[in-house]
Chain A
Amino acid sequence: MTPDLIGALPAIVLVAGALVVAALHRISPADERATILLGAVTIIAAGVALSAAPVGATVSGLVVQDTRSISLGVLICAAAALAMLADAPRALASPAPAPALVALALLSTGGALMCAAAGDLLTLFVGLQVVWVPLALASATESSGRAPRGSALVSIAVALLFAAGATLLFLVLGTTQIGALARADDRPARAGIALVFVAIAQSATLAPFMLSRPRARAIAGGHDSIALVVPSLAGFAALVRVGSIAGVNPALTLEWSVTLAVLAAATIVLATLAAGVERSLSGLVAFAMTAQLGIAAAALALGNEEFGGLFAVLASASLATVGASAAISGAGLETRDALRGLGRARPLSTAALALVWLSAAGVPPLLGFAARLAVYEAAARAQLAWLVIIAALASAAWTVIALGLITESLRDGPHRWPAFDAASGTALLVCAVLVVLLGIAPETVFAF
């Protein structure tokens, strides 16, 4: 097999999987739950193929497989597979056929992998669209063809911004290769990078672009956690690709770092404040993920050397989001009050949910704490103590929120609970075990 083919193998696996699922549904409508499992297995297979890919494989420069793209790709696959299991109850209850949703989720994951391995702005553009379009279609199929207009307009505007930025860069640099950004030092080139950055930051859920984030739930259809996790990871993967070049360009380093640091702080603060008044659990999960992505942005602002910390934060955010979403969909939880009685009825699930929430808040000795610590230490070294203080105080606020949720679940409540969905229960337990094990031995994650 040529290096080109090996480099594209994970995406090929996912696209093929999507086609197979769609075809199987047409030919012989199978058990929808089995289809969801097939989708998760397909994503895992793509992740395995990715981890076996040799470093340096390219598809004519459009795709680059270095250690970072492989690491991020494996994370995307792991998170997407768990998210697919976590979302199973909602997908099964959705008006749209579950196999269609699975196929669209596989495509979206494939798009995220393209973003992680993009060597060219065209690949990045296609990847981002392949991430968002299937999710929008999933929402369209659920709402009988009426996709939320506002969300569609935002998506189009973002795509146009990216296209404009890429076009500007092509006109200035003569190429759309990401590596060429290293010599972008004049005003038109910086404008092009800025436009591309805005488009990517929207996907990565950074402030103020996160204000359009609730649309993720509107367009998610039956895939709440996939719609939260996959686009965010794709956005950060894109930021890593662009930032690894733009960040070392002497003309851009300071702007890149300062911009990201400020956006990181704003993201953390806004998400934390919004969580204080959020009543729905799904909304809390979304804001918790956003706050953690703010910390990831802080890690990105610190430069290419802090990839380990960035990876740890992204992993922690993904596990916490998927785990919490799994509990919400598995037990049919809508608001905080709905948690009452969960502790007595489902003690194991409650314990797992507690661990996931505490990890999201950054409580030791869980993965969220270790990940934050890496960023804090690096930020302290970079004289960004103000950013550390903001992040640490936000972590304190999230700990209060997490303790409130745990206490609510320990209170008396309804004596009859529906059976916890097996798929989402499995996803929750896996996430809980991982946040504990990786928190005790985080070096495993930092080594990526």
Chain B
Amino acid sequence: MIATAVVATPLIAALLCTAPILRRHGRWVNAVAALISGSLALVVLGSGTVSAARAPWIPTLGAGYHVELDPLGAIFVACSSLLFAMSAVMSRGVPDARAFHALLAVLAGAVGGVIVARDLFLLFTFWELALIPIALLGMRWGRGMRLSAIGGVLVLDAVLLVAFASIAAIRGSADMASLAERPLAPSIQVLPLLLVLPAVAARLGVFPLHAVTAPLEERVPDTTAGFAVGALVFAAFAVFVRVAVVLFPDALAAFAPGLVAVAAIGVAYSAAVATRRPGARAVSEWIGRSQRNVAALGLLTATLSGLGGAALVLVATAPSVAAVVAAAGVARRRPASSLVGLAALAGAPLTGGFAGVLLVLATAYVRYPVAAAVAASAFALWAIAVLPVAREELGPPRPPRAGPRQRDALVLVPLLAFVVAVGVAPSIVTDRIPPEILGGAAQR
């Protein structure tokens, strides 16, 4: 019930946002929806139980409505709800507000759907549905997003769908639980994995496929930047953990060394690019990409601590990007917002970014010491990239610019508190990784 509510609540909000009677209140409709989704996620987190729902959907195709919200998923839903609330509340005065807020709510529902879906076709439905609002937000309200920006992502998603359809055709079912009970033979895991990984890597922002989603992330409106990033990376994490790790463990293990090397290069590359970019938004986006490559590194270690570190990094990165971008230009009036966000991006202690990255590097060092060493260089590069931004944001007085208002602290404060909380107590996330995610090969 809760799992379904997490998806349904934002979608209902999307419908309400289009109602003429509520056309001036779309922000608050979405804020309420975010509050409800977040609260439901906290209930699951607090109780430690799993909320599931099953129903027939398309028996002809082996597809069923199967959703599950476990504590790990609840963390992502909670984070997503915070980002949703922030994007909604801070997006005031946008033209065609009804359409804008309706799309935002659809995005929130789609992200929740990807996190809770336990059927391949249901997961793909929400996976693809998440892309539509991001594209429309960027093209209509954003920074000049072109149609070609979305072409690459759609091509990779088409390949992903081919993989899912093939798996369902071979196995006769798209239910992930039943697929996990009968893993594919190692020899036939390779091709499906090669079809699934590019789409996941692109959304995760892993080098070099970060170039596919970069045009999307960089062109969405400022107030939705963090939410868009979160939507993409949370979906990628869900697919990697629920599909790639579970269904193709042998193929993943075979490709891991090469992929780890690529991820390590991605960490260093993105961090280096960040040092050359002007402005808070560009710097935060590239540092975010660098940290997402660190998360990929953690995922590829196929250990519980690696997964925990990756999850920590991802739930800290998106809010950090969101906070920095949202507070950009007004840091003198909102120094705390910008400082905490920048600190988290730089991997400062007591932030989620620090705890997650450290956990991933420590885990990766056991098997891939060179890759871990290369990735560790990013700490210095992040600091180098952040310092000029901090100097600019907190420097001498400049002409006032429009930006977050007093009441925007309502959403910025919880967001930043979340980033600090997962840094101070990373076990909130790491203890939610169920050992059975890695099957019989679970390693600490």
Contacts and interface: CB of A to CB of B under 8 A. Distances in A.
Contact of A377 (B96, B99, B157, B168): B168
A395 B128 CA distance: 12
Nearest to A396: B154
B21 to A, nearest CB: 14
Contact of A308 (B60, B148, B151, B165): B60
A133 to B, nearest CB: 38
B132 A392 contact: no
Interface residues of B, number: 37
A364 B18 contact: no
Contacts of A16: none
Given A377-B169, A381-B169, A343 B96 contact: yes
Indicate the size class of the contact surface on chain A: 35 or more
B202 to A, nearest CB: 13
B410 interface: no
Contact of B61 (A374, A392, A393, A397): A374
B125 interface: yes
A396 B140 contact: no
A403 B58 contact: no
Interface string B277-313: 0000000000000000000000000000000000000
A373 interface: yes
Contact of A380 (B96, B136, B158, B165): B165
B159 interface: yes
Contacts of A308: 60
Contacts of A388: 162, 165-166
Given A343-B99, A364-B128, A381-B169, A411 B140 contact: yes
Contacts of A446: 58, 60
B99 A347 contact: yes
Nearest to A392: B158
B169 A400 contact: no
Contact of B96 (A344, A442, A443): A344
B98 interface: yes
B154 A365 contact: no
Nearest to A389: B162
Given A364-B128, A369-B125, A404 B169 contact: no
Contact of B150 (A380, A392, A400): A400
Contacts of A381: 169-170
Interface in B37-59: 57-59
B11 to A, nearest CB: 11
5 tightest CB-CB pairs across the interface, nearest first? A396-B154, A392-B158, A364-B125, A380-B169, A376-B165
Interface of A: 308, 343-344, 347, 351, 358, 363-365, 369-370, 373-374, 376-378, 380-381, 385, 388-389, 392-393, 395-397, 399-400, 403-404, 406-407, 410-411, 442-443, 446
9 contacts: A364-B124, A373-B165, A380-B169, A388-B165, A389-B158, A392-B159, A396-B154, A396-B155, A403-B147
